[in-house]
Structure 1
Amino acid sequence: MPKNNNSGNTSKSLIIVIIIVIIGAALIGYMLWSQKDAGPVAPPIPKKILAPIKPQTVIDYNELNKDQKLKELMQERKAKYGLKKGIDIITKSDESVKVGESTVPMQEILDEIRLKLGDIIEKDLKSGRTGSGRGTKEFGIYVVQPGDNIWNIHFKFLKDYFDHKGVVLSPRSDEPSQAGQSSGVGKLLKFSENTVQIYNIKEHKLDIDLHLIIPLNKIVVYNMERIFALLDLVDYAKVNRIQFDGETLWIPAE
């Protein structure tokens, strides 16, 4: 009898082993089938690569007469417009300007101007840049000096432009005639007051009073594209026929 019990136990153990093997084989087969059905295994996701941010170029007015490379760069930029003395520096919209201890990005100044004019400012949330979609632009900067006034600043700019054109402006060419009528140059200067902006670089804000000039604290900002689009239309031989009503400038046709 004991011999028969051992034989029965062996049979049961064998059956259990067979069942375990079958279940294991089924699991392995299912896993292999699942991997095949899932397709090729995707490669591991590479780690993020952080591109270095290029520091913004700073045009330092304080170094203008000390840094030869900066001086040559400004001369090169001015030469494109035929200017020498009418402005101190020409900066691009993606650069910054430094006067004294104050540094301000040109884009900050341009945003202030656009807000003043009622434009809507759209910025890229990642870069923080204004999305104009027109690339960089150039702006002339004149740093206000002791004894300056807005009229003389504009006259100096205009004289510099006409000198390049081979036209010599008399120091009195902006004065009215004996009959009290404004000269053509005077009308151009008056119109210029509406096309430039005065920025207080120390307080980081536009200045409302154009005639309240504070030396080395304020800069005059010229939109080079806009100014020269106008000046290039002027025929000095007909300059006295220019009309200005306080808002609009009419240039005589050929």
Structure 2
Amino acid sequence: MPDSLYAQALRDVLQRLSSAAAASGRPRPRLLAVSKTQPATAVAEMAAALHAMNVTAVAPAPAFGENYVQEALAKQEALASETLEWHLIGHLQSNKAREAATAFDWVQTVDRDKLVAALARHRPDDRPPLNVLVQVNIDDEASKHGCAPGEVPALAAAIAAQPRLLLRGLMAIPAPHPDVAHRRDAFARMKALFDALAGQYPQIDTLSMGMSDDIELAVAEGATMVRVGTALFGARQRAQDS
């Protein structure tokens, strides 16, 4: 199959993941292609490249991350003939919970009890339970969403108690600190939280952390999923309204 527009970028990212996994002695994490602000045509082309490189052999379908519910809904409608897995990775407002619970396969940004109840109430009975990650504000940044590390156990318990939700693990966006050791420490603290939680809930298998600029650090500290946008699609296009 001839290279698509994104094939070489995908190849480069997969090589980075493989090299980082080999260097750290850890399994290669799952790749989530962050498609926010990218057009549906780009998503379709990236999905084809993922299939061509057999990346989907160990996953249900090509997985794409979106920040905004309305933007994602438009892409899902345009790509209705494709079998894709959709992850919400942006902050979720309570008034969008019904749409998110219906349209997405994963919500990675659950950070408060109110969202847990809303997502569980609106998840359709004819769909599998919604995969959920607890978002942790690991560096206590005022500009970022996410619960405090100490709030993780209670929030996880609330999610696990909902039959229409499936607790899968944790997600974080550590501060882009210029000191590599500082960033590595944030990833390590997330891994410790993840390991403690996994000891309580056997279904937990996902630690979503690491983006285009820090894939290697995240993999070294135990990420099982990385969220990559710029390295795959290039610079972002103009953001859509949420």
TM-score category, normalised to shorter length:
under 0.3
Give the alignment's TM-score, normalised by structure 1: 0.21
In terms of fraction of residues, the more helix-rich structure is 2
Larger radius of gyration: 1
Give the alignment's TM-score, normalised by structure 2: 0.22
